[in-house]
Amino acid sequence: MKVLVFIKRVVDYNVRVKVRPDGSGVDTDGVKMSINPFDEIALEEALRMREAGQADEVIVVSAGTSDCQQQLRTGLAMGADRAIQIDTDKPLQPLTAARAFQALVEQQQPGVVLLGKQAIDDDNNQTGQMLAALWGRPQATNAAKIELSGDTARVTREVDAGLEVLDIDLPAVITTDLRLNTPRFVKLPDIMKAKKKPLDVVALDGLVSDAGNDLKIGNWSPPPQRGKGIMVDDVAGLVTELKSRGLL
Amino acid sequence: MSEREVMEYDVTIVGAGPAGLSCALRLKQLNSELNVCVIEKAAEVGAHILSGAVIETGPLDDLLPDWRDNPPPICVAAQRDEFLLLSKTGARRLPTPPQQNNHGNVIVSLGALCGWLAPQAESLGVDIFPGYAASAIAWKQDGSVSGVVIGDMGVDKSGQPKDTYVEGIEIHAPVTVLAEGCRGHLSKQLIKHFSLDKDCDPQTYGIGMKELWRLPEGRVQPGLIQHTIGWPLDPRTYGGSFVYHLDDNRLALGFVVALDYADPAFSPFEALQQFKHHPRMRALLEGGEIISSGARALVEGGYQSLPNTQMPGALLIGDAAGLLNVPKIKGTHQAMRSGMLAAEHLHQQHQSDGLRSDGFDQALRGSAIVSELKRVRNIRPGFHKGLWFGLANAVWETATAGFSPWTMRQHADHTALQQNLSVQRDWVERELPPKDRLASVYFAATEHDEDQPVHLQILEPDVCLTRCAEEYDHPCTRFCPASVYEMVEDEQGKRLQINAANCVHCKTCDIKDPYQIINWVTPEGGAGPNYQNL
C-alpha cells in the first residue's frame, strides 16, 4: 500500500511573524521556514505504518516554488521513499490545493492520504476535508490515534466531549492532530542518503486546469496593540471601573 | 555505549560563519575533488550569527569576484561616518578615527550574508549540516584530533534517552577546522589541551548586543554609520554604540561593552537600553518597532592574545582564533581571509604530502591578517587606563602606525571584577521596548526543548551561595543578556535557577564568571536563537 503525505512549507513556529508595512502580507524575508508541524506528524505516522509493515511506500508531496524542495528533502531524510513537488509560484488557497492534490491522488492511487489538520500559517483547516469530498472517499480529521487493519482504519479523535472513534474504509483521507506522535530527529547520514532519493517536479497547470485562487485578500494588519493596564485596589474598585466603561 | 557511526571527510569545518564558509568555498574552488563538510549548531545557517556589520569588501572580491551581480540580501553602501562623544543629554562630534573610515565598505546583515554564502558553497559540493552541534572532540590513539562527535538528540533532563533518542555520529577528517567564532566551546577545550595559549596573553572579550528596528517612513538615511563613546558608560568601562542606517526603513543598532568592566553591579543589557534613551536616539526610535534582537560575545585581545592556531589534526580560524580588529570594529574580513588562507594552505599540503595542519600558524603570522593586528596592538589595551588615556594613546599609536617599541599586556576578563565598588550611574527612566531582558529574548526567537540536560554547567554550585554571594552578589544575574541566571528563594531555600531555554549562545557567562565555574556546552542541535537578519 502507498501512503501519500502532503506537507506545507511555513514560517517556523518559533518565529515572531510581522505584517509587512504596506499590508500586503507577512514578512518572510530572512525568516526561518519549516515543515508545517502537523504535516510533520502526518509524515512520521506514515513512516511508522511502513515500519510496521502496513505500507510499502511513503511519498511526500509539497506545492510551491523550488524553495519547498528544502522541506521535501527533510521529508526524504526523515525516511520518505520519494518526493513530488507541485511547481507553482502562487500561494495556493485550500480549494486549489485540494484540487491539485486530488489529481495527484488519482494518479498515484494511495491506500491512505495523510496531512496535517491545518497549517500554522493560515490555520484554515480545510484542505483535507475538501480533498476527501472531491475524491469521493471517507475522511477522518484531527486524528490522535490511527490503527490500520486490512481495508479499514480505526481513527480516534479528541473532541470536546471526549474521544470519538471512527471506523472508515480505505482508501481515505486522515488529517493529524498534535498528540498523534512525536516526529523523529533526522540522522545526519540520512541527509546524505536523501540527496540521492528521487524528487519529481510536476507543474500545477498539468494537474488542474482551473488553478485560479477564488478568494481575494484585501489587506493584512496586525492585531491592535493592547493599551496600558491600571491597578485597582479592591473588588469594589474593579466593579466601578468596569461599570464606568459600560462593560458591566 | 555502542561504537558510534562514522562519516569520513577530507576536511571538516565546525561553524557556518564567515570564516568556515569562506574556507569551505575556497577549498572546493581549489580542488573540487575534496570532500568538505560544515557542521552548524543553528537550525539554519545564519540563525546564530550576530554582527554590526559594516564589512570590507576585499575578501568577497577575492572569494566571489562576481558577487556584486548577486549581492547578499541586505547590502547598503556606506555613505557617511559619524563619531560622537555622548553626555547624558548632549553629543559632541569627534574626528572619525582613520581605522573607522568606511569609504567603500558595505553595511550588511552578517546572518543574511552567511545564509547567502551557504547555497553557493553547496552548489560547489560542500555538505552543510545545519541543526547539528559538534559537541565533543574525537581523538586518535596518537593524541591528535581525528574529528568531532555530533551531540546525541532526544536526551531528557536527567540524561536518559527519550523515545526519539538518536545517537550522534562521529565525523572524521585528516584536518578539522574550528570556525566556531568567539569562545567556541571545542576551541576552548583544544586551546587548553594543547596549551596553545602558553606563549600569549589571555584572550579578552566584549559583549555585543544588537537590535534591528523598522522605523516610520523618512527617518532612515541609508548608508549613515554612527559610532558613539561616552554615556551611558563610565570612563573606566570600554565600549560604545553602533547605529547603522539600512534600506527599507530598517535600522541596526547595538552596544558593545568590554568584559573587563570592574563593577559587579553593572548590566551590559541595561547600558544598551539606556543608550537608546539618549535624546538623539529616542527621537529616532520612537514609534518604530523591533524586528529582531540578540547578543554575542566578541574577541578583543588581538595580536597579544593570539594563540597558536595549529595542533595535530586541527586548525583555528576566524574569531575562534581571535582575529577581530578592535580599532576598526571589524572582524568579518579577518575571518574570511583566515578561512581562505587555511583553505589555500590545506590545498598546498594536499598536493605535496597530504592533508595536515602543519605550517598553518606560520603562514597566518606571515600574512596581512596578523600584520594588521600587530599594527593596532596597543590601542585597545590603552583603554585599561580609562577613556581619556585610551583616546590619547590611540592617537599616538595611529600616528606612529604601531611602531612603538612596547607592547601593552592583556589581562583575563574574569579577574577584572572588584569587590565593594560603588559606581554612580547617571541613568534615566526607560520607555522604549523591550522593557526587560525576557521581552528582549522574545525577539531573539530562541528555543530549546525544556526536557534536555541543562547546557550551562555549574562546576561548583556551592560557590554561588557562599563566596560569590558575599564577594560579588551574583553578577551572573546581571551580565547575562537573556536572564538565564536567576536567584530564587523557595521552601528549599535560596538557590540559583538556570533558565537554559532563554540562552542566546552569547558565551558571556563562560567568560565573565569570576570563578570560571560556568561551562557552556552545546545543547541539542538546532536549539538556540533564530535571528532574523542580525
Yes or no: say if A43 and A51 are a contact pair by the CB < 8 Å rule: no
Q: Are residues B338 and B472 in the same domain?
A: no
At B492 the pLDDT is 83
Point out which residues pair with A33 in neighbouring strands.
A11
List residues of B with catalytic annotation: 51, 296, 332, 480, 503, 506, 509
Within 8 A of A186 by CB-CB distance, chain B residues are 131
Q: For residues A74 and A194, what is the distance between their CA atoms, to the nearest angstrom?
A: 8
In this structure, is residue B23 part of a structural domain? yes
Same domain for B342 and B470, yes or no, is no
H-run or E-run covering B274: helix B268-276
Res. A212: pLDDT tops 80: no
Q: Cα–Cα–Cα angle for A117, A118, A120, nearest 5°?
A: 140
Q: What is the pLDDT of residues A151-185, one digit of tens each?
A: 999 999 999 999 999 999 999 999 999 999 999 99
Q: How many residues does chain A have?
A: 248
Q: How many CB pairs under 8 A join A and B?
A: 61
What is the ipTM, given to two decimal places?
0.87
List the single residue in B73, B249, B443 with the smallest CB-CB distance to A29.
B73
Contact yes or no for B164 and A188 at CB 8 A = no
Largest CA distance in chain A: 70
Q: Looking at the structure, do residues B353 and B457 belong to the same domain, yes or no?
A: no
State the residue range of the domain holding B317: 6-67+112-202+303-375
- DSSP codes, A165-216: EEEEESSEEEEE-GGG--PPPPPHHHHHHHHTS-EEEEEHHHH-S-----PP
Residue A185 with chain B: CB contacts under 8 Å: 153-154, 164, 166
Cβ contacts of A191 on chain B, cutoff 8 Å:
127, 129
Per-residue pLDDT of chain B (534 residues; tens, 9 = 90+): 458 999 999 999 999 999 999 999 999 999 999 999 999 999 999 999 999 999 999 999 999 999 999 999 999 999 999 999 999 999 999 998 888 889 999 999 999 999 999 999 999 999 999 999 999 999 999 999 999 999 999 999 999 999 999 999 999 999 999 999 999 999 999 999 999 999 999 999 999 999 999 999 999 999 999 999 999 999 999 999 999 999 999 999 999 999 999 999 999 999 999 999 999 999 999 999 999 999 999 999 999 999 999 999 999 999 999 999 999 999 999 999 999 999 999 999 999 989 999 999 999 999 999 999 999 999 999 998 889 999 999 999 988 888 888 999 999 999 999 998 888 888 999 999 999 999 999 999 999 999 999 999 999 999 999 999 999 999 999 999 999 999 999 888 889 999 999 999 999 999 999 999 999 999 999 999 999 899
- Residue in B closest to A67 by C-alpha: B119
Give the model's pLDDT for residue A210: 67
- CB of B290 within 8 Å of any CB in chain A? no
Q: Is there a single domain that holds both residue B371 and residue B450?
A: no
Which residue of A16, A29, A192 is in closest CB contact with B445? A16
Does residue B26 share a domain with residue B118?
A: yes
- Residues of chain B contacting A182 with CB distance shorter than 8 Å: 163-164
Q: Which residue in chain A is spatially nearest to B524 when comparing CA positions?
A: A185
Same domain, B365 and B508: no
CATH number for the domain harbouring residue B488: 3.30.70.20
* Boundary residue ending a domain (B347, B375, B403): B375
| Domain C-terminal end among B341, B356, B375 | B375
CA B121, B125, B126, B130: dihedral to nearest 10 degrees?
90
Q: Is position B221 within any domain?
A: no
| One domain, residues B338 and B456 | no
Residues B336 and B464 in one domain: no
Q: Are residues B119 and B197 in the same domain?
A: yes
CATH value at residue B341: 3.50.50.60
Give the whole-angstrom CA distance, residue B250 versus residue B255. 17
Using the Cβ of B5 and the Cβ atoms of chain A, whether some distance falls under 8 Å is answered with yes
pLDDT-derived band at A211 (thresholds 50, 70, 90) equals: low
State the amino acid at position B490 in one-letter form.
Answer: D
How many whole angstroms separate alpha carbon B127 and alpha carbon A192?
A: 8
Check pLDDT > 80 for residue A214: no
Domain identity same for B496 and B356: no
By the CB < 8 Å criterion, does A229 face chain B? no
Asked if B7's CB is within 8 angstroms of A14's CB, the reply is no
pLDDT digit string (tens) for B450-469? 999 999 999 999 999 999 99
Q: Is B5 helix (H, G, I), strand (E, B) or coil?
A: coil
Domain A2-244: give its CATH code: 3.40.50.620
- Please write the tens of the pLDDT for every residue from B490-534: 888 889 999 999 999 999 999 999 999 999 999 999 999 999 899
Name the domain count of chain B. Answer: 2
Residues 498-527 of B with CB under 8 A from A: none
**Cα end-to-end span (Å), chain B:** 40
